[in-house]
């Protein structure tokens, strides 16, 4: 009997046993943000309407895998896609976009990773859907058609 | 003499890693201990099978730096744990809290006590 109570109390936890996504939180960036060309970006442009934020880097192989899908999404749908260039050299990032095409309206330059860290990013790639400043959908990992249909398509 | 100098240089190179150990210069010994305790008890959110002290993932280094900054700013341990829990969920907190699930901690203790009781009464009975 005791063994059964013990094992029941073991499984009793209702917490999700993975990393929590950032869904339901407000998008907060306290630092000044710049794009890859060094232009300053008003934070307001991220909190107005529907914005798809994609964390990417030129060193990230999974980002390269999801890149064609992101391009096809921006071509076929009315999506405002903004990149966050995570822990990357400016030169490498530019090269990457020249070579593979640039689906992003612009990319936020985050060399130190500080902006992303405070957003709750654990690595690249990650994708946030922000509607009027609130994160409604967050994918940790690659976005493909299946994930898109499940997590993001209902909002478009 | 020249050889001696070379040997000295080699020894000097070997001591460099010791000097590199203290990456968090703005913290005193006490705060470093707290940093160590916190990083031992917060799970790496990326690799998820170790704490951020044992992990080489970039996010772990960033988190450790952030925790060091927070300690420097005067945050308490609980506040830092709460901040991390708020951001990544309860999953990243490796520290166990008895109050969360008391049965889990009490039942093994009870089993131990009961079995000690049973064994002692059994042996006493047999020796008679």
Read off the pLDDT of residues B62-106 as tens digits, 9 standing for 90 and up: 999 999 999 999 999 999 999 998 898 888 888 887 777 788 888
* From B48, B104, B110, residue closest to A10, measured CB to CB: B104
Q: Tell me whether residues A113 and B103 touch, CB distance under 8 A.
A: no
Q: What are phi and psi of A107, to 5 degrees?
A: -120, 135
Weakly modelled stretches of chain A, pLDDT under 50: none
Domains located in chain A, CATH noted: 26-155 (3.40.30.10)
Other CB atoms closer than 10 Å to residue A113's CB: what's the count?
22
- Asked if the C-beta of B90 comes within 8 angstroms of chain A's C-beta atoms, the answer is yes
Chain B positions in Cβ-Cβ contact with residue A22 (cut-off 8 Å): 87
The ipTM assigned to this model is: 0.80
Q: Is A101 left (phi over 0), alpha (psi -120 to 50) or beta?
A: left
CATH-assigned architecture of domain B25-95? Orthogonal Bundle (1.10)
DSSP label at A149? I
pTM to 2 decimals? Answer: 0.76
pLDDT confidence of residue B47: 79
């Amino acid at each position: 009997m005791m063994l059964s109570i013990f094992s029941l109390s073991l499984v009793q936890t209702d917490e999700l046993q993975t990393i929590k996504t950032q869904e339901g939180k407000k998008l907060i960036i306290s630092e000044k943000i710049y794009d890859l060309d060094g232009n300053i970006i008003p934070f307001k442009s991220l909190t107005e309407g529907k914005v798809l934020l994609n964390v990417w880097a030129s060193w990230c192989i999974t980002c390269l895998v999801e890149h064609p899908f992101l391009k096809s999404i921006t071509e076929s749908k009315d999506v405002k896609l903004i990149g966050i260039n995570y822990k990357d050299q400016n030169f490498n990032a530019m090269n990457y976009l020249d070579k593979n095409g640039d689906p992003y309206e612009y990319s936020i330059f985050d060399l130190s990773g500080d902006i992303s860290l405070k957003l709750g990013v654990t690595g690249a790639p990650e994708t946030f859907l922000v509607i009027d400043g609130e994160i409604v959908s967050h994918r940790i990992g690659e976005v493909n058609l299946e994930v898109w249909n499940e997590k993001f398509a209902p909002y478009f | 003499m020249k050889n001696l100098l070379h040997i000295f240089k080699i020894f000097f190179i070997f001591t460099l890693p010791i000097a590199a150990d203290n990456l968090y210069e703005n913290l005193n010994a006490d705060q470093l201990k707290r940093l160590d305790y916190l990083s031992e008890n917060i799970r790496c959110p990326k690799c998820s099978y170790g704490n951020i002290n044992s992990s080489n993932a970039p996010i772990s280094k960033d988190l450790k730096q952030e925790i060091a900054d927070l300690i420097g700013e005067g945050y308490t341990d609980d506040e830092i744990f709460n901040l991390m829990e708020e951001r990544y969920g309860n999953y990243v907190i490796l520290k166990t809290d008895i109050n969360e699930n008391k049965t889990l901690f009490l039942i093994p203790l009870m089993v131990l006590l009961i079995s000690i009781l049973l064994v002692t009464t059994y042996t006493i009975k047999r020796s008679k």
